[in-house]
C-alpha cells in the first residue's frame, strides 16, 4: 500500500516546496505556449495526411476539438507571463497542467492507434513519427515539471510496446528507437530537474542573504525599503494605518572607540535581539546600516508611548565581556497615510522626526506632526534657495570678541555666519546651517566663509586670533580639511593665529576619523577647541585622545552661575579638567558683570558674551580694538549691551 502511494505520488504535484512551485510555474509560462503550438501543428499535419485515408469524422472531429484547445491554452499561458504568482496559484496551475497532460497524451495516443488500422504498412510509419515527435517535444517543453514528463513516459511505454507487437521490422525498429529516445529524454529530464531544484534553493538562499544583515540577523536596508513599498501597496486600497520608525543609537561610537569593534558588534547584536522581541506580533525591524535601524509596525494605539517604551528598552545596560556599556536611542516616527503615502516621503518624515529628537530631545521618541511638516517645508525652501545662492554676495561674517579678563585684551574674534537672501530675507544660522549640513552644501559654504575670515584676519593685530567653526561634515571629510589647510597656506597668515571650533557631536560621530582630521590640522600648528562643551557626551575617554588646545564651556551652565551652586561646581570641575590637561578654557554666554566676577573667581580667564560685545561687522572691529586699548572693557559691558 505504501509502495503504491509512493508510486502514484511521482505523478502528482506536491505543495511541500512553495518556492519551487512558483519557479516551475514561472518557467512554464514561457514553454507551454510552444508546446501547444507544436501539438497544434503536428495534429493538423497528421489530419491533412490522413484525410481521405481514414473516415472523415475520425480525422475532422479530433481536429475540431484539439486545435481550439491548443490555441486557447497557448493564449492563456502567454498572458500570464508577467504576472507574479503566489505558491497556491502556482500549485493549481501545475495540477491543471498535469491533468491536461494526461488527457491530451491519452487522446493523441488513442487517435494515432485508431488511425493506424486504416493505413497501409507504407504509411503507418508516418503515424509513429507523429507520435514520437509530439511526445518528445512535449517532454522537452515540460522539462521543469517532472510529474508531467513521467505521465508522458507512462503513456509512451505501452504505446511503443503495442507498435512492436503489431508492426513489421521497420515499424518495430522505429518503435524501439522511439522508446529509447523517450527513455533518454526521461533520464536527462531527471538530471535537469534535480539541478533546477537545487538552483531554486540556492537562489532562494542567495536572496535571503542579500536581504539579511549578517551581524544582527535582521533584514537589511534593501529588504526594509522593498518591504515598506510592498506594505504601502498592500494598504493603499483600505487605507489601514501603520507606523514606521527610524532609530539612531546615541553613544554607540564612544563604545566602539573605547572598548573596540567586537564590543560594538555585540551591542548591535543585542539591539537586534531586543528589537526582534519587541516587534513580535506587531511588525518587524531592520538594520539600515551602522547604528541605524528601521521599524514597520501596526496595531499600536499610542505610537508615542510605544516609542518611549522602546527607548527605555534600548537604554537598558549592555553587558559585555569585561564591562557594561550605556547606550541610548533616539527615535523618529511617521504614520501612514496621515503623514505621507509614499515610501520616500514616509522615510523622509520619520528621518526628520529622528533629526528633531537628536537635536532637541536626545534619547526620546518624536512623532512627526503638522508643525514638523511646516518646518520641513520651510527647510526645503531654504535648501532650494541655498543651492542657488551667490555665496560671495549673500553671506557675510560678523565677529564676536573673546576677552582675556586678566589683561582686558581681545585675544580672538569668533567668526559667525550671516545670510541675507534676496528671496527669503535674513535667515538665522540656526536654520540654514543644519540645512546646509543635511543637504551636503556645508563644505562649499565653509570654504567661502573661511576665505573671507582669513582676509579679515590679515588686517588685525598679530596678537589677535581668528576662531572659526567647523561642521560635522567638514570634520568627516579629509579632502575638506586639506582644502582648509591650503587656504591658510595661500593666505600667508600664520597658522598659530587660527582656532578651529568643533562640537562634541561632530567629534563623536566618528572619534577615530575626527582625531585623524584634527591631527592633520594640528601638524600645521592650528589650534583646536571643543565648542559647547558639556552639552553633548562630555566623555573624558575622547578628551584626552584628541589634540585639543581649548574647551569652550556651554552657555547653558552660565545663565545661573551667579545663583546656582550646581552650575558653579560644574564650571569649577571643567576649569580643573582644563588645568590638568594643560589646555585653555573659554566661557561662552557671559552677559552680566556678576556672572563675569563669579566666573573669574572660579579660575576662568577667557570669556565671550554680550557683556563685552555683540557680534559686530568687520567694519567695526578696528574701532572696538582701539577702544579696548584705551579703556577697560569690563566696565563697559552694560554700555556695550545697551548700545547694541
Nearest to 446 by CA among 429, 462, 463: 429
Residue 116 CB neighbour total at 10 angstroms: 19
- Measured in whole angstroms, the distance separating CA 284 from the mean position of its chain's CA atoms is 15
- Looking up cell 525591524, which residue turns up? 285
| Maximum Cα–Cα distance across the chain | 132
Strand segments (E) across 479-557: 498-503, 527-533, 550-553
Which residues fall within 8 angstroms of residue 603, CB to CB, at 6 or more apart? 572, 575, 576, 579, 585
Q: Which helix (H) or strand (E) holds 288?
A: strand 283-289
Nearest to 347 by CA among 288, 273, 283, 431: 288
Q: State the Cα–Cα distance between residues 548 and 529, nearest whole angstrom.
A: 6
Direct distance between the N- and C-terminal alpha carbons of the chain, in angstroms, rounded to an integer = 102
Contact 542, 507 (CB under 8 A): yes
Strand segments (E) across 408-523: 409-421, 425-427, 465-469, 498-503
- Looking up cell 483600505, which residue turns up? 238
What is the total residue count of the chain? 644
Q: Which helix (H) or strand (E) holds 395?
A: strand 395-404
Strands 527-533 and 242-250: unpaired
Contact 544, 261 (CB under 8 A): no
Nearest to 223 by CA among 300, 297, 284: 284
Contact 337, 368 (CB under 8 A): no
**Grid cell listed for 335:** 504614520
Backbone angles phi, psi at 347, to 5 degrees: -65, -40
Mind giving me the DSSP string for 480-491? HHHHHHHHHHHH
Catalytic site residue from 437, 588, 594, 620: 588
Which residues fall within 8 angstroms of residue 560, CB to CB, at 6 or more apart? 567
Q: State the Cα–Cα distance between residues 192 and 445, nearest whole angstrom.
A: 62
Q: State the Cα–Cα distance between residues 343 and 338, nearest whole angstrom.
A: 13
Query: DSSP assignment, residue 362?
Result: T
> What b-and-e string marks burial along 231-251, b requiring 16 or more CB atoms within 10 Å of the CB?
bbeebeeeeeebbbbbbbbbb
Q: What Cα–Cα distance (Å) separates residue 212 from each residue in 129, 245, 286?
A: 53, 19, 9
588 catalytic, yes or no?
Answer: yes
Query: DSSP assignment, residue 54?
Result: B
Nearest to 230 by CA among 211, 213, 246: 211
Q: Which residues are catalytic?
A: 588
Amino acid at each position: 500500500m505504501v509502495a503504491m502511494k509512493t508510486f502514484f505520488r511521482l505523478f502528482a504535484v506536491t505543495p511541500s516546496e512553495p518556492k519551487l512551485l512558483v519557479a516551475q510555474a514561472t518557467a512554464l509560462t514561457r514553454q507551454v505556449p510552444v508546446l501547444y503550438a507544436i501539438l497544434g501543428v503536428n495534429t493538423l499535419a497528421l489530419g491533412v495526411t490522413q484525410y481521405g485515408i481514414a473516415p472523415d469524422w475520425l480525422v475532422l472531429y479530433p481536429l475540431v476539438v484539439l486545435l481550439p484547445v491548443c490555441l486557447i491554452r497557448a493564449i492563456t499561458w502567454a498572458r500570464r507571463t508577467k504576472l507574479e504568482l503566489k505558491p497556491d496559484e502556482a500549485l493549481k496551475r501545475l495540477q491543471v497542467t498535469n491533468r491536461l497532460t494526461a488527457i491530451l497524451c491519452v487522446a493523441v495516443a488513442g487517435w494515432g492507434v485508431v488511425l493506424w488500422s486504416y493505413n497501409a504498412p507504407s504509411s503507418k510509419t508516418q503515424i509513429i513519427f507523429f507520435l514520437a515527435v509530439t511526445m518528445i517535444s512535449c517532454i522537452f517543453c515540460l522539462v521543469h515539471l517532472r510529474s508531467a514528463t513521467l505521465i508522458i513516459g507512462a503513456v509512451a511505454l505501452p504505446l511503443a510496446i503495442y507498435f512492436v507487437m503489431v508492426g513489421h521490422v521497420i515499424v518495430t525498429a522505429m518503435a524501439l528507437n522511439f522508446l529509447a529516445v523517450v527513455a533518454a529524454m526521461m533520464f536527462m529530464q531527471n538530471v535537469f530537474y534535480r539541478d533546477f531544484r537545487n538552483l531554486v534553493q540556492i537562489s532562494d538562499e542567495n536572496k535571503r542573504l542579500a536581504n539579511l544583515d549578517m551581524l544582527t540577523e535582521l533584514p537589511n536596508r534593501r529588504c526594509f525599503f522593498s518591504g515598506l513599498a510592498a506594505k504601502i501597496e498592500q494598504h493603499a486600497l483600505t487605507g489601514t494605518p501603520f507606523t514606521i520608525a527610524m532609530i539612531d543609537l546615541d553613544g554607540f561610537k564612544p563604545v566602539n572607540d573605547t572598548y573596540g569593534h567586537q564590543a560594538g558588534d555585540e551591542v548591535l547584536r543585542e539591539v537586534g535581539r531586543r528589537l526582534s522581541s519587541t516587534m513580535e506580533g506587531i511588525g518587524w525591524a531592520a538594520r539600515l546600516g551602522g547604528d541605524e535601524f528601521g521599524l514597520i509596525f501596526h496595531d499600536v494605539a499610542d505610537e508615542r508611548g510605544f516609542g518611549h517604551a522602546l527607548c527605555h528598552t534600548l537604554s537598558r545596560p549592555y553587558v559585555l565581556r569585561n564591562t557594561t556599556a550605556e547606550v541610548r536611542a533616539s527615535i523618529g516616527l511617521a504614520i501612514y497615510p496621515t503623514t505621507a503615502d509614499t515610501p520616500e516621503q514616509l522615510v523622509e518624515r520619520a528621518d526628520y522626526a529622528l533629526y528633531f529628537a537628536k537635536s532637541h530631545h536626545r534619547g526620546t521618541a518624536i512623532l512627526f506632526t503638522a508643525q514638523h511638516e511646516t518646518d520641513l517645508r520651510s527647510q526645503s525652501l531654504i535648501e532650494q534657495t541655498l543651492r542657488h545662492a551667490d555665496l560671495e554676495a549673500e553671506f557675510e561674517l560678523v565677529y564676536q570678541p573673546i576677552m582675556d579678563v586678566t589683561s582686558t585684551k581681545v585675544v580672538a574674534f569668533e567668526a559667525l555666519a550671516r545670510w541675507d537672501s534676496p528671496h527669503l530675507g535674513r535667515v538665522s544660522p540656526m536654520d540654514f546651517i543644519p540645512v546646509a549640513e543635511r543637504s551636503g552644501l556645508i563644505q562649499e559654504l565653509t570654504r567661502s566663509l573661511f576665505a573671507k575670515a582669513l582676509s579679515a584676519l590679515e588686517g588685525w593685530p598679530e596678537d589677535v586670533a581668528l576662531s572659526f567653526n567647523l561642521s560635522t561634515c567638514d570634520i568627516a571629510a579629509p579632502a575638506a580639511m586639506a582644502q582648509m589647510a591650503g587656504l591658510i597656506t595661500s593666505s600667508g597668515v600664520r597658522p598659530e593665529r587660527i582656532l578651529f571650533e568643533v562640537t562634541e557631536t561632530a567629534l563623536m560621530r566618528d572619534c577615530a576619523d575626527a582625531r585623524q582630521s584634527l591631527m592633520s590640522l594640528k601638524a600645521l600648528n592650528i589650534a583646536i577647541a571643543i565648542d559647547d562643551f558639556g552639552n553633548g557626551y562630555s566623555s573624558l575617554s575622547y578628551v584626552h585622545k584628541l589634540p585639543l588646545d581649548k574647551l569652550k564651556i556651554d552657555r547653558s551652565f552660565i545663565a545661573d552661575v551667579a545663583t546656582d551652586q550646581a552650575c558653579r561646581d560644574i564650571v569649577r570641575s571643567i576649569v580643573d579638567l582644563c588645568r590638568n590637561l594643560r589646555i585653555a578654557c573659554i566661557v561662552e554666554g557671559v552677559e552680566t558683570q556678576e556672572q563675569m566676577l563669579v566666573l573669574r573667581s572660579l579660575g576662568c580667564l577667557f570669556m565671550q558674551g554680550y557683556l563685552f560685545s555683540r557680534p559686530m561687522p568687520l567694519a567695526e572691529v578696528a574701532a572696538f580694538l582701539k577702544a579696548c586699548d584705551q579703556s577697560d572693557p569690563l566696565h563697559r559691558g552694560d554700555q556695550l549691551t545697551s548700545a547694541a
